[in-house]
Amino acid sequence: MRLPKLVAATLLLGVSISWAASPQVFSLSGNWSNENNPNGPWSYNQGSTPLPLVPDWTGNGSAFVGCNQPAWAPSNNGGDFLPAFMKANSCTAKDLGTDPHNGRPNARPGDIVVHTVDSANGSPANGVANFLFTLPAGDDGEYEISGFVWDAWIDTGRPQDWELLVNGVEQASGFLSGGVSRSQAQTFKIFATLAAGDTVDLELFEDSTSPFGFFVGVNLSITPIPALSPASLSFGNQLVDTTSAAKTVTLVNNGSATLDISDIAPSGDFTIAENTCGATLAVGKKCKVSVAFAPTSLGPLTGALVFTDSAASNPQMVPLSGKGFLPATLTPSSATYAKRAVGTTSPAKTFTLINNQTETLTGIVITTSGDFAVSATTCTTSLDKKCTISVTFTPTETGTRTGQLSVSDSASNSPQTSTLTGTGK
Protein backbone atom coordinates (compact mmCIF):
# COMPACT_ATOMS: atom_id res chain seq x y z
CA MET A 1 0.00 0.00 0.00
CA ARG A 2 1.35 3.42 -0.86
CA LEU A 3 2.32 5.78 1.89
CA PRO A 4 0.84 9.27 2.02
CA LYS A 5 2.69 11.82 -0.03
CA LEU A 6 2.34 15.48 0.81
CA VAL A 7 4.10 18.22 -1.01
CA ALA A 8 4.24 21.91 -0.16
CA ALA A 9 5.95 24.32 -2.51
CA THR A 10 6.63 28.04 -2.55
CA LEU A 11 6.61 29.70 -5.95
CA LEU A 12 7.75 33.27 -5.85
CA LEU A 13 9.21 33.72 -9.23
CA GLY A 14 8.48 36.78 -11.37
CA VAL A 15 6.36 38.69 -8.84
CA SER A 16 5.31 41.96 -10.49
CA ILE A 17 1.74 42.72 -9.52
CA SER A 18 -0.77 45.30 -10.68
CA TRP A 19 -4.37 44.78 -9.59
CA ALA A 20 -7.08 46.20 -11.81
CA ALA A 21 -9.62 46.00 -8.97
CA SER A 22 -9.88 44.85 -5.39
CA PRO A 23 -8.45 41.31 -5.09
CA GLN A 24 -10.85 38.43 -4.66
CA VAL A 25 -10.71 35.53 -2.24
CA PHE A 26 -11.92 32.36 -3.96
CA SER A 27 -13.37 29.57 -1.84
CA LEU A 28 -14.76 26.25 -3.05
CA SER A 29 -17.30 26.19 -0.20
CA GLY A 30 -17.96 29.94 -0.08
CA ASN A 31 -18.52 30.18 -3.85
CA TRP A 32 -20.52 26.94 -4.10
CA SER A 33 -23.51 26.89 -6.42
CA ASN A 34 -26.38 24.43 -6.76
CA GLU A 35 -27.56 26.32 -9.82
CA ASN A 36 -24.66 26.84 -12.20
CA ASN A 37 -21.83 24.67 -13.51
CA PRO A 38 -19.44 26.18 -14.46
CA ASN A 39 -19.98 28.47 -11.50
CA GLY A 40 -17.91 31.56 -12.32
CA PRO A 41 -14.28 30.42 -12.12
CA TRP A 42 -15.24 27.00 -10.66
CA SER A 43 -16.28 23.87 -12.51
CA TYR A 44 -17.43 20.55 -10.97
CA ASN A 45 -16.22 17.96 -13.45
CA GLN A 46 -15.79 14.37 -14.41
CA GLY A 47 -12.64 14.60 -16.45
CA SER A 48 -13.06 17.78 -18.50
CA THR A 49 -16.87 17.61 -18.56
CA PRO A 50 -18.95 19.77 -16.20
CA LEU A 51 -21.65 17.64 -14.58
CA PRO A 52 -25.40 18.36 -14.43
CA LEU A 53 -27.26 18.98 -11.18
CA VAL A 54 -29.30 16.17 -9.66
CA PRO A 55 -31.67 17.98 -7.21
CA ASP A 56 -32.17 14.96 -4.95
CA TRP A 57 -29.14 12.71 -5.32
CA THR A 58 -29.37 9.50 -3.27
CA GLY A 59 -26.75 7.40 -5.01
CA ASN A 60 -29.41 5.03 -6.42
CA GLY A 61 -30.69 4.43 -2.90
CA SER A 62 -27.23 3.69 -1.48
CA ALA A 63 -26.71 6.91 0.46
CA PHE A 64 -28.52 9.84 2.05
CA VAL A 65 -32.03 8.51 1.52
CA GLY A 66 -34.47 11.23 2.50
CA CYS A 67 -31.83 13.94 2.78
CA ASN A 68 -32.94 15.80 -0.37
CA GLN A 69 -29.26 16.31 -1.09
CA PRO A 70 -28.51 18.15 -4.36
CA ALA A 71 -25.38 16.99 -6.15
CA TRP A 72 -23.54 17.53 -9.37
CA ALA A 73 -23.53 14.03 -10.86
CA PRO A 74 -24.19 12.19 -14.14
CA SER A 75 -27.59 11.03 -12.78
CA ASN A 76 -29.14 9.36 -9.76
CA ASN A 77 -30.26 6.14 -11.41
CA GLY A 78 -28.83 2.93 -12.73
CA GLY A 79 -25.10 2.42 -12.54
CA ASP A 80 -24.22 5.88 -13.74
CA PHE A 81 -24.51 8.14 -10.71
CA LEU A 82 -20.82 8.81 -9.93
CA PRO A 83 -18.88 10.97 -9.39
CA ALA A 84 -21.05 13.17 -7.19
CA PHE A 85 -20.15 16.62 -5.83
CA MET A 86 -22.21 18.10 -3.00
CA LYS A 87 -22.24 20.77 -0.32
CA ALA A 88 -23.35 18.73 2.66
CA ASN A 89 -26.62 19.67 4.36
CA SER A 90 -27.44 18.82 7.98
CA CYS A 91 -28.99 15.50 7.02
CA THR A 92 -26.02 14.47 4.85
CA ALA A 93 -23.54 15.50 7.53
CA LYS A 94 -25.36 13.36 10.10
CA ASP A 95 -25.39 10.31 7.82
CA LEU A 96 -21.62 10.60 7.24
CA GLY A 97 -21.02 9.65 10.85
CA THR A 98 -18.68 10.65 13.66
CA ASP A 99 -14.99 11.47 13.81
CA PRO A 100 -13.55 8.67 15.99
CA HIS A 101 -10.84 11.00 17.33
CA ASN A 102 -13.08 13.64 18.87
CA GLY A 103 -16.67 12.35 18.70
CA ARG A 104 -17.75 15.29 16.55
CA PRO A 105 -19.40 14.99 13.11
CA ASN A 106 -16.91 13.79 10.53
CA ALA A 107 -18.52 16.14 8.01
CA ARG A 108 -20.34 19.35 8.83
CA PRO A 109 -23.09 21.25 7.03
CA GLY A 110 -21.34 23.35 4.40
CA ASP A 111 -18.44 20.93 3.91
CA ILE A 112 -17.81 19.91 0.33
CA VAL A 113 -18.09 16.13 -0.10
CA VAL A 114 -17.28 14.12 -3.21
CA HIS A 115 -18.02 10.51 -3.99
CA THR A 116 -15.28 9.44 -6.39
CA VAL A 117 -15.81 7.25 -9.43
CA ASP A 118 -15.34 3.52 -8.97
CA SER A 119 -15.30 0.48 -11.20
CA ALA A 120 -18.63 -0.81 -9.89
CA ASN A 121 -20.69 2.36 -10.25
CA GLY A 122 -20.05 5.18 -12.68
CA SER A 123 -17.83 5.53 -15.72
CA PRO A 124 -14.14 5.76 -14.80
CA ALA A 125 -13.20 6.03 -18.48
CA ASN A 126 -14.82 9.48 -18.53
CA GLY A 127 -12.22 10.81 -16.11
CA VAL A 128 -11.75 11.37 -12.42
CA ALA A 129 -13.74 13.70 -10.20
CA ASN A 130 -12.12 17.12 -10.13
CA PHE A 131 -12.70 20.72 -9.16
CA LEU A 132 -11.29 23.00 -11.84
CA PHE A 133 -10.62 26.66 -11.02
CA THR A 134 -9.71 29.13 -13.78
CA LEU A 135 -8.45 32.56 -12.73
CA PRO A 136 -10.64 35.35 -14.17
CA ALA A 137 -9.20 38.28 -16.12
CA GLY A 138 -8.15 41.22 -13.98
CA ASP A 139 -7.10 39.13 -10.97
CA ASP A 140 -3.48 38.39 -11.90
CA GLY A 141 -1.31 38.08 -8.82
CA GLU A 142 0.38 35.92 -6.26
CA TYR A 143 -1.88 33.50 -4.40
CA GLU A 144 -1.88 31.11 -1.50
CA ILE A 145 -3.61 27.88 -2.54
CA SER A 146 -4.53 25.93 0.57
CA GLY A 147 -6.98 23.41 1.93
CA PHE A 148 -7.42 19.96 3.42
CA VAL A 149 -8.72 16.55 2.36
CA TRP A 150 -10.10 13.67 4.45
CA ASP A 151 -12.20 10.50 4.34
CA ALA A 152 -15.70 11.92 4.79
CA TRP A 153 -17.08 8.46 5.52
CA ILE A 154 -14.66 6.30 7.53
CA ASP A 155 -14.13 2.97 5.77
CA THR A 156 -10.58 1.60 5.96
CA GLY A 157 -11.26 -0.80 3.10
CA ARG A 158 -11.74 1.98 0.55
CA PRO A 159 -8.57 4.07 0.22
CA GLN A 160 -8.71 7.09 -2.10
CA ASP A 161 -6.14 9.43 -3.68
CA TRP A 162 -5.98 13.16 -4.32
CA GLU A 163 -3.78 15.43 -6.39
CA LEU A 164 -3.45 19.22 -6.68
CA LEU A 165 -2.22 20.63 -9.99
CA VAL A 166 -1.44 24.19 -11.10
CA ASN A 167 -1.54 24.59 -14.88
CA GLY A 168 -1.41 20.81 -15.18
CA VAL A 169 1.71 20.38 -13.02
CA GLU A 170 1.40 18.46 -9.74
CA GLN A 171 2.09 20.59 -6.67
CA ALA A 172 0.73 18.38 -3.88
CA SER A 173 -0.82 14.93 -3.53
CA GLY A 174 -1.84 12.37 -0.96
CA PHE A 175 -3.21 8.94 -0.11
CA LEU A 176 -6.30 8.59 2.10
CA SER A 177 -6.27 5.21 3.82
CA GLY A 178 -10.02 5.20 4.42
CA GLY A 179 -9.52 6.11 8.06
CA VAL A 180 -8.34 9.73 7.74
CA SER A 181 -10.97 11.64 9.72
CA ARG A 182 -11.76 15.34 9.50
CA SER A 183 -9.66 16.14 12.58
CA GLN A 184 -6.71 14.27 11.03
CA ALA A 185 -7.16 15.72 7.53
CA GLN A 186 -4.24 16.01 5.14
CA THR A 187 -3.43 19.67 4.49
CA PHE A 188 -1.75 21.45 1.63
CA LYS A 189 -0.49 24.99 1.12
CA ILE A 190 1.41 26.28 -1.89
CA PHE A 191 2.13 29.70 -3.35
CA ALA A 192 1.77 30.44 -7.05
CA THR A 193 1.80 33.45 -9.32
CA LEU A 194 -1.36 33.16 -11.42
CA ALA A 195 -2.44 35.04 -14.54
CA ALA A 196 -5.80 35.15 -16.27
CA GLY A 197 -6.67 31.69 -17.63
CA ASP A 198 -4.30 29.82 -15.31
CA THR A 199 -5.85 26.77 -13.66
CA VAL A 200 -5.89 25.06 -10.28
CA ASP A 201 -7.21 21.50 -10.43
CA LEU A 202 -7.99 19.31 -7.40
CA GLU A 203 -8.50 15.69 -8.51
CA LEU A 204 -10.04 12.92 -6.37
CA PHE A 205 -9.97 9.28 -7.38
CA GLU A 206 -10.10 5.69 -6.23
CA ASP A 207 -6.74 4.27 -5.18
CA SER A 208 -5.49 1.31 -7.22
CA THR A 209 -5.70 -0.90 -4.11
CA SER A 210 -9.33 0.00 -3.41
CA PRO A 211 -12.30 -2.08 -4.61
CA PHE A 212 -14.54 1.01 -4.75
CA GLY A 213 -14.58 4.77 -4.79
CA PHE A 214 -15.96 6.51 -1.72
CA PHE A 215 -16.75 9.78 0.03
CA VAL A 216 -13.96 12.36 0.37
CA GLY A 217 -14.23 15.70 2.19
CA VAL A 218 -12.61 18.72 0.56
CA ASN A 219 -11.71 22.26 1.54
CA LEU A 220 -9.99 24.55 -0.99
CA SER A 221 -9.29 28.29 -0.91
CA ILE A 222 -7.35 30.50 -3.33
CA THR A 223 -6.37 33.69 -1.55
CA PRO A 224 -4.38 36.69 -2.85
CA ILE A 225 -1.37 37.57 -0.71
CA PRO A 226 0.71 40.75 -0.29
CA ALA A 227 2.60 41.55 -3.47
CA LEU A 228 5.91 43.26 -4.16
CA SER A 229 6.80 45.10 -7.35
CA PRO A 230 9.06 45.13 -9.18
CA ALA A 231 10.18 41.53 -8.83
CA SER A 232 13.83 42.56 -8.60
CA LEU A 233 16.07 45.63 -8.71
CA SER A 234 19.28 45.98 -10.72
CA PHE A 235 21.50 49.00 -10.06
CA GLY A 236 24.07 48.43 -12.81
CA ASN A 237 27.60 49.78 -12.35
CA GLN A 238 28.39 51.92 -9.32
CA LEU A 239 31.71 53.37 -8.18
CA VAL A 240 33.09 51.62 -5.12
CA ASP A 241 32.53 53.60 -1.91
CA THR A 242 29.84 55.78 -3.48
CA THR A 243 26.05 55.53 -3.19
CA SER A 244 23.68 55.18 -6.12
CA ALA A 245 20.40 56.94 -6.72
CA ALA A 246 17.60 55.13 -4.91
CA LYS A 247 15.12 52.74 -6.54
CA THR A 248 11.67 51.98 -5.16
CA VAL A 249 9.87 48.76 -4.18
CA THR A 250 6.11 48.89 -3.64
CA LEU A 251 4.31 46.59 -1.20
CA VAL A 252 0.56 46.14 -1.78
CA ASN A 253 -1.62 44.34 0.75
CA ASN A 254 -3.78 42.18 -1.50
CA GLY A 255 -4.74 39.91 1.39
CA SER A 256 -8.01 39.81 3.28
CA ALA A 257 -6.66 41.12 6.62
CA THR A 258 -4.42 43.90 7.91
CA LEU A 259 -0.75 43.09 7.32
CA ASP A 260 1.48 43.35 10.38
CA ILE A 261 5.02 44.35 9.37
CA SER A 262 7.73 43.53 11.89
CA ASP A 263 10.87 44.26 9.85
CA ILE A 264 12.11 45.47 6.47
CA ALA A 265 15.84 44.99 5.94
CA PRO A 266 18.30 44.88 3.02
CA SER A 267 21.33 42.60 2.85
CA GLY A 268 24.69 42.99 1.15
CA ASP A 269 25.90 46.40 -0.04
CA PHE A 270 22.40 47.87 -0.15
CA THR A 271 20.77 50.42 2.14
CA ILE A 272 17.27 51.78 2.74
CA ALA A 273 17.08 55.42 1.65
CA GLU A 274 13.41 55.95 2.50
CA ASN A 275 10.59 53.84 3.98
CA THR A 276 6.90 54.80 4.04
CA CYS A 277 5.80 51.44 5.48
CA GLY A 278 4.65 51.44 9.08
CA ALA A 279 3.96 48.62 11.51
CA THR A 280 0.69 47.74 9.75
CA LEU A 281 -0.73 47.95 6.23
CA ALA A 282 -4.50 47.94 5.71
CA VAL A 283 -6.20 45.75 3.09
CA GLY A 284 -5.86 47.26 -0.39
CA LYS A 285 -3.27 49.83 0.72
CA LYS A 286 0.34 50.17 -0.38
CA CYS A 287 3.63 51.54 0.92
CA LYS A 288 7.04 52.11 -0.60
CA VAL A 289 10.64 51.38 0.32
CA SER A 290 13.51 53.11 -1.52
CA VAL A 291 16.81 51.23 -1.75
CA ALA A 292 20.28 52.47 -2.70
CA PHE A 293 23.42 50.56 -3.73
CA ALA A 294 26.72 51.39 -2.00
CA PRO A 295 29.36 48.88 -3.19
CA THR A 296 32.35 48.28 -0.97
CA SER A 297 34.14 45.93 -3.35
CA LEU A 298 34.64 45.27 -7.04
CA GLY A 299 32.57 43.02 -9.28
CA PRO A 300 28.99 41.69 -9.27
CA LEU A 301 27.28 42.07 -5.90
CA THR A 302 23.92 40.74 -4.75
CA GLY A 303 21.55 41.09 -1.84
CA ALA A 304 17.84 41.15 -1.04
CA LEU A 305 15.24 43.44 0.46
CA VAL A 306 13.41 41.23 2.97
CA PHE A 307 9.94 41.96 4.35
CA THR A 308 9.07 40.10 7.56
CA ASP A 309 5.34 40.26 8.24
CA SER A 310 2.16 38.36 9.03
CA ALA A 311 1.49 37.16 5.47
CA ALA A 312 1.25 33.44 4.80
CA SER A 313 4.13 33.84 2.35
CA ASN A 314 6.35 35.48 4.99
CA PRO A 315 9.08 36.47 4.42
CA GLN A 316 8.78 38.13 1.03
CA MET A 317 11.92 39.31 -0.70
CA VAL A 318 13.08 41.31 -3.70
CA PRO A 319 16.48 40.26 -5.12
CA LEU A 320 18.96 43.13 -5.50
CA SER A 321 22.02 43.29 -7.75
CA GLY A 322 24.69 45.71 -8.88
CA LYS A 323 28.33 45.87 -9.87
CA GLY A 324 31.05 47.72 -8.01
CA PHE A 325 33.76 49.33 -10.11
CA LEU A 326 36.67 51.75 -9.77
CA PRO A 327 36.83 55.05 -11.69
CA ALA A 328 40.09 54.02 -13.31
CA THR A 329 42.04 50.76 -13.38
CA LEU A 330 45.55 49.74 -14.38
CA THR A 331 46.02 46.13 -15.47
CA PRO A 332 47.70 43.85 -14.83
CA SER A 333 48.18 44.77 -11.19
CA SER A 334 51.62 43.14 -11.17
CA ALA A 335 54.24 41.81 -13.61
CA THR A 336 57.38 39.67 -13.28
CA TYR A 337 60.22 39.92 -15.79
CA ALA A 338 62.56 37.09 -16.75
CA LYS A 339 66.17 37.12 -15.52
CA ARG A 340 68.32 39.63 -17.37
CA ALA A 341 72.02 40.30 -17.48
CA VAL A 342 72.90 43.44 -15.60
CA GLY A 343 72.87 46.42 -17.94
CA THR A 344 70.70 44.80 -20.65
CA THR A 345 67.09 45.74 -21.40
CA SER A 346 64.18 43.28 -21.49
CA PRO A 347 61.36 43.14 -23.99
CA ALA A 348 58.58 45.45 -22.92
CA LYS A 349 55.50 44.34 -21.02
CA THR A 350 52.22 46.11 -21.75
CA PHE A 351 49.85 47.63 -19.19
CA THR A 352 46.39 49.05 -19.88
CA LEU A 353 44.87 52.12 -18.24
CA ILE A 354 41.06 52.09 -18.42
CA ASN A 355 38.71 54.97 -17.67
CA ASN A 356 35.50 53.43 -16.26
CA GLN A 357 33.75 56.78 -15.82
CA THR A 358 31.49 58.62 -18.19
CA GLU A 359 33.61 61.77 -17.89
CA THR A 360 37.09 62.23 -19.30
CA LEU A 361 40.05 61.26 -17.14
CA THR A 362 42.45 64.22 -16.95
CA GLY A 363 45.82 65.20 -15.52
CA ILE A 364 47.43 61.87 -16.39
CA VAL A 365 51.05 61.52 -15.23
CA ILE A 366 52.93 58.22 -15.66
CA THR A 367 55.98 57.31 -13.55
CA THR A 368 58.09 54.25 -12.80
CA SER A 369 60.53 53.41 -10.02
CA GLY A 370 63.46 51.06 -9.61
CA ASP A 371 65.09 49.44 -12.68
CA PHE A 372 61.93 49.89 -14.79
CA ALA A 373 61.17 52.45 -17.48
CA VAL A 374 58.34 53.41 -19.82
CA SER A 375 59.43 52.56 -23.36
CA ALA A 376 56.26 53.62 -25.16
CA THR A 377 52.69 54.73 -24.41
CA THR A 378 49.49 55.63 -26.22
CA CYS A 379 48.33 57.63 -23.20
CA THR A 380 48.21 61.39 -23.23
CA THR A 381 47.29 63.77 -20.42
CA SER A 382 43.56 62.93 -20.84
CA LEU A 383 41.65 59.72 -21.54
CA ASP A 384 38.10 58.84 -22.58
CA LYS A 385 38.36 55.05 -22.68
CA LYS A 386 41.71 53.27 -22.52
CA CYS A 387 45.36 53.49 -23.47
CA THR A 388 48.47 51.32 -23.13
CA ILE A 389 51.84 51.72 -21.43
CA SER A 390 54.93 49.65 -22.32
CA VAL A 391 57.50 49.10 -19.57
CA THR A 392 60.97 47.52 -19.81
CA PHE A 393 63.34 46.13 -17.18
CA THR A 394 67.06 47.02 -17.12
CA PRO A 395 68.68 45.55 -14.00
CA THR A 396 71.47 47.60 -12.46
CA GLU A 397 72.50 44.88 -10.01
CA THR A 398 72.18 41.14 -9.61
CA GLY A 399 69.38 39.61 -7.55
CA THR A 400 65.75 40.52 -7.13
CA ARG A 401 64.79 43.99 -8.28
CA THR A 402 61.44 45.63 -7.52
CA GLY A 403 59.67 48.75 -8.63
CA GLN A 404 56.30 50.21 -9.50
CA LEU A 405 54.37 51.63 -12.41
CA SER A 406 52.21 54.49 -11.15
CA VAL A 407 49.58 56.61 -12.90
CA SER A 408 48.26 59.78 -11.28
CA ASP A 409 45.09 61.35 -12.66
CA SER A 410 41.74 62.96 -11.81
CA ALA A 411 40.06 59.68 -10.70
CA SER A 412 39.07 59.38 -7.06
CA ASN A 413 41.20 56.24 -6.74
CA SER A 414 44.36 57.92 -8.08
CA PRO A 415 47.08 56.80 -8.28
CA GLN A 416 46.60 53.45 -9.99
CA THR A 417 49.63 51.19 -9.59
CA SER A 418 51.17 47.93 -10.75
CA THR A 419 53.92 46.11 -8.84
CA LEU A 420 57.00 45.22 -10.94
CA THR A 421 59.56 42.49 -10.21
CA GLY A 422 62.64 41.27 -12.06
CA THR A 423 65.98 39.53 -11.43
CA GLY A 424 69.45 40.69 -12.48
CA LYS A 425 72.19 38.17 -13.22
Q: Both ends of the chain: CA-CA distance in Å?
A: 83
Can you tell me the distance from the alpha carbon of 379 to that of 319, in angstroms, rounded to the nearest whole number? 41
Which of these, 349, 393, 346, lies nearest to 371 by C-alpha position? 393
Per-residue pLDDT, averaged over 285-305, amounts to 94
Per-residue pLDDT, averaged over 26-48, amounts to 96
Can you tell me the distance from the alpha carbon of 370 to that of 364, in angstroms, rounded to the nearest whole number? 20
- DSSP state for residue 103 in the 8-state scheme: S
Per-residue pLDDT, averaged over 172-179, amounts to 96
Structural domains in the chain, sorted by start: 26-224 (2.60.120), 227-325 (2.60.40.10), 328-424 (2.60.40.10)
What is the share, in percent, of the chain residues with pLDDT greater than 90?
A: 74
Instruction: Say yes or no to pLDDT of 175 above 90.
Output: yes
How does pLDDT run across 307-333, given as a tens digit for each residue? 999 887 788 899 999 999 999 999 999
What is the share, in percent, of the chain residues with pLDDT greater than 70?
A: 93
User: Are 226 and 164 within 8 A, CB to CB?
Assistant: no
> Whole-prediction pTM value?
0.64
Helix (H, G, I), strand (E, B) or coil at 194: strand
Task: Give CB contacts under 8 A, 24+ apart, made by 376-380.
Answer: 376/348, 379/353, 379/407
What is the structure's pLDDT at 23?
58
What is the structure's pLDDT at 16?
30
How does pLDDT run across 69-124, given as a tens digit for each residue? 999 999 876 667 899 999 999 999 999 999 999 999 999 999 999 999 987 776 77
What is the structure's pLDDT at 3?
30
Per-residue pLDDT, averaged over 250-277, amounts to 92
What is the structure's pLDDT at 93?
94
What is the structure's pLDDT at 134?
97
20 falls in which pLDDT band (50, 70, 90)?
very low
Q: What Å distances lie between residue 28 and 25, 217, 324, CA to CA?
A: 10, 12, 51
Single-letter amino acid code for the residue at 59? G
Residue 323 phi/psi, 5-degree rounding, is: -135, 125
Per-residue pLDDT, averaged over 269-280, amounts to 95
303 falls in which pLDDT band (50, 70, 90)?
very high
Name residues whose C-beta falls within 8 Å of residue 410's C-beta, 6 or more positions apart in sequence: 361, 362, 363
For Cα atoms 38, 43, 47, give the angle at the middle one, nearest 5 degrees: 125
Which of these, 190, 250, 251, 243, lies nearest to 226 by C-alpha position? 251
User: Would the CA dihedral through 366, 372, 376, 377 be positive or negative?
Assistant: negative
> Which position has the higher pLDDT, 340 or 227?
340
Which of these, 315, 342, 346, lies nearest to 400 by C-alpha position? 342
Single-letter amino acid code for the residue at 109? P
10 falls in which pLDDT band (50, 70, 90)?
very low
Q: pLDDT averaged over the chain?
A: 90
User: Are 284 and 22 within 8 A, CB to CB?
Assistant: yes
